[in-house]
Amino acid sequence: MLNRRQLLGAMGAAGIGIAATACSTGGGQPAPGATAAPTGELKGTVHIVTPEFAGTDGKEAFEGKILKAFTDKHPGVTFQVDYTPWDKLNEKLSTLVAGGQPSDLLMTGMGWTEPFAHKKVLTKLDKNAVLGDAKVLDALVKQGSFNGDMYAMPFLLESRPFAYRKDLFEKFQISTTEPKSMEEFNSLLEEVKSKSGLVPLDMLGQNLRQIWGQMIFAFGGTQFSPDGMSITFDQEPGVKALQWMVDLQNKGLSDFNFKVPTGQPSAYQQDKTLMAWGSSGAWPQWLKQTPQLTEEGKLGIMLMPTVNGSKVLYQGGTLVGLSTRSQNSAAATAVMQHLITPDALTQASLFSGKVPARSDLPPNPELAKNKLLDFSVDNLQYSVTDGGTPAWMEIRGKMDPELEAAVTGKKSVADTIASLKKIAEDAIGRIK
């Protein structure tokens, strides 16, 4: 069950990557040059680009509930919402920026803040004015920050632990003890394959860039230097992480060909695997398509161990930024303040299945049913993410084809790393 105790407990623990150390609340002085808190009567249209709230149900959740609650208080404000899917979002935002007409509010992903802040697409925010008294993990505020200033407000998080079929593990007499090392995790996959006869893990059918990002941390490395201006993924941990992914495919422990179109039942849902790299955001889809998999006796959840005895949990997410070209920054800032309220975040989390950014939401019986979300909240201290360079938007879209070539045997690991290194160094060189 999602509650204050669990989130605060997670915040107090030390970890790696974007690991949490404390929470942020209002108070203090605004950063110089940051947008001010809105005052007076609000009116006009607020334009929003969002990769969340897809489909008719999403539109109803966002405009019919979340934004309606805002206009009930501010009837002079109207909205124009552009629902752009994640795989088209970077292109959409780039087109808007190039055309000089970006929306007032831009919803982006983890790792996107540095590039858009560096290009002056996002406005520096007054953290205290935007967040108010909301308790938000400092590590998440950091994900929305660039050079120490906040440029995007954390909104929703998407963690990816490993889900497994507890009932089938018991049927095939496979231990459910969580692996404590990479060797134990690899042995578990081999055991699942030998005893069940199935491909053990649904992982390579998902985003290869994000998998590699997590596994570099699992092997004890990073992708970029702390200032994001040089690469580190070409070092031993990055090479070992990619080799591990290639070995998964070659040994039949996971299958790149298990990819399915967005919204379709995954290989795990189709009983092709006993384990899945499961997103908390997949929970609503599981409930609709394969509710039996969410039952207590069938769902087990575990984390990825690391070479140094810790664990990792890949963390994506959605942040909200204010465009530097906003024509209605007062109303747009007030909308950001509304989006971080408990009611708005609860509605957003109920629809998306993703983890709400603030830690002090009241208990909700529907949110409590999302076991992947609950597990993610309990283990936020192990969170890692990819990116971390102002050149990320030029790099990220070129990584998957290179990684796919390695996983499918069309390119060696060494040649793939060399290609990725050239792509990243060229992109970073253009912003120096």
Q: 266 and 170 in one domain?
A: yes
Q: 273 and 126 in one domain?
A: no
Please report where in the chains the tokens 């970073």 appear, as a residue.
Answer: 428
What pLDDT, in 10s, does the model give residues 346-377? 999 999 999 999 888 888 998 888 999 889 88
Is the Cβ–Cβ distance between 31 and 127 less than 8 Å?
Answer: yes
List the CATH number of the domain containing 48: 3.40.190.10
Q: CA distances (Å), 34 to each of 31, 104, 269, 324, in order?
A: 5, 16, 46, 11
Mean pLDDT of the region 331-355: 95
DSSP 281: G
| pLDDT > 70 in the chain, percent | 91
Q: 346 and 301 in one domain?
A: no
Is 169 within a domain? yes
Mean model confidence pLDDT for the chain? 89
Where would I find the H helices in 37-85? Answer: 55-59, 67-73
Is 14 within a domain? no
Q: What per-residue confidence (pLDDT) applies to 11?
A: 36
Kind and range of the H or E run holding 6: helix 4-11
- Beta strands 152-160; 355-356: pairing state: antiparallel
Confidence of residue 32 (pLDDT cuts 50, 70, 90): low
What value, to the nearest 5°, has the Cα angle with vertex 287 and ends 170 and 89? 115
Is the Cβ–Cβ distance between 155 and 348 less than 8 Å?
Answer: yes
Is the Cβ–Cβ distance between 201 and 244 less than 8 Å?
Answer: no
Is 18 within a domain? no
The residue among 240, 275, 311, 253 whose CA lies nearest residue 17 is 311
What pLDDT, in 10s, does the model give residues 81-140? 999 999 899 899 888 888 877 799 999 998 899 999 998 999 999 999 999 999 887 778
Task: Compare 28 and 190 and report the one with higher pLDDT.
Answer: 190
Q: 271 and 170 in one domain?
A: yes
What pLDDT, in 10s, does the model give residues 39-59? 678 999 999 999 999 999 999
Which burial class, exposed, middle or buried, applies to 313 when counting CB atoms under 10 A from its CB (0-12, 13-18, 19+)? buried
End-to-end alpha carbon distance in the chain: 46
Q: 323 and 306 in one domain?
A: no
Where would I find the H helices in 25-78? Answer: 55-59, 67-73
Task: Compare 300 and 40 and report the one with higher pLDDT.
Answer: 300
- The number of beta carbons lying within 10 Å of the beta carbon of residue 376 is 29
Q: CA distances (Å), 8 to each of 23, 364, 372, in order?
A: 8, 17, 18
d(CA 306, CA 37): 43
Tell whether the model's pLDDT for residue 19 goes beyond 80. no
Tell whether the model's pLDDT for residue 278 goes beyond 90. no
Number of structural domains, the chain? Answer: 2
Q: 393 and 415 in one domain?
A: yes
Is 404 within a domain? yes
DSSP 343-367: HHHHHHHHHH-PEESBS-PPP-TTG
Is 23 within a domain? no
Is 303 within a domain? yes
d(CA 345, CA 66): 9
Q: Where are the beta strands (DSSP E) in 339-396?
A: 355-356, 383-384
Q: 296 and 424 in one domain?
A: yes
What pLDDT, in 10s, does the model give residues 207-232? 999 999 999 999 999 999 999 999 99
Q: What per-residue confidence (pLDDT) applies to 140?
A: 83
Tell whether the model's pLDDT for residue 389 goes beyond 80. yes
Q: What per-residue confidence (pLDDT) applies to 244?
A: 98
Question: Which amino acid would we find at residue 122?
Answer: L
List CB contacts of 25: < 8 A, sequence separation 6 or more.
Answer: 131, 133, 134, 135, 136
Q: What per-residue confidence (pLDDT) applies to 39?
A: 67
Tell whether the model's pLDDT for residue 30 goes beyond 70. no
Phi, psi of 149 (to 5 degrees): -110, 150
- At which of 338, 353, 374 does a domain end? 374
Confidence of residue 34 (pLDDT cuts 50, 70, 90): low
Q: CA distances (Å), 255 to each of 166, 411, 412, in order?
A: 21, 17, 18
- At which of 374, 396, 421 does a domain end? 374
Is 348 within a domain? yes
DSSP 159-180: EE-EEEEHHHHHHTT---PPP-
Q: Where are the beta strands (DSSP E) in 337-376?
A: 355-356
Task: Compare 99 and 298 and report the one with higher pLDDT.
Answer: 298
Tell whether the model's pLDDT for residue 304 goes beyond 50. yes
Is 31 within a domain? no
Q: 393 and 299 in one domain?
A: yes
Q: 234 and 341 in one domain?
A: no
Confidence of residue 31 (pLDDT cuts 50, 70, 90): low
The CA R_g of the chain, rounded to the nearest whole Å, is 21
DSSP 237: H
Q: 366 and 337 in one domain?
A: yes
Q: 392 and 255 in one domain?
A: yes
- pTM (predicted TM-score): 0.84
Domain that holds residue 134: 44-159+316-374
DSSP 95-124: HHHHTT---SEEEEETT-HHHHHHTT-BPP
- Tokens describing residue 420: 């990725």
Q: Under DSSP, is residue 340 helix (H, G, I), strand (E, B) or coil?
A: coil
Q: What per-residue confidence (pLDDT) applies to 263?
A: 86
d(CA 389, CA 424): 10
Say how many residues make up the chain.
432
Q: 153 and 297 in one domain?
A: no
- At which of 352, 374, 396 does a domain end? 374
d(CA 148, CA 161): 30
The residue among 184, 126, 156, 108 whose CA lies nearest residue 349 is 156
Question: Which amino acid would we find at residue 283?
Answer: W
Please report where in the chains the tokens 């992914």 appear, as a residue.
Answer: 245
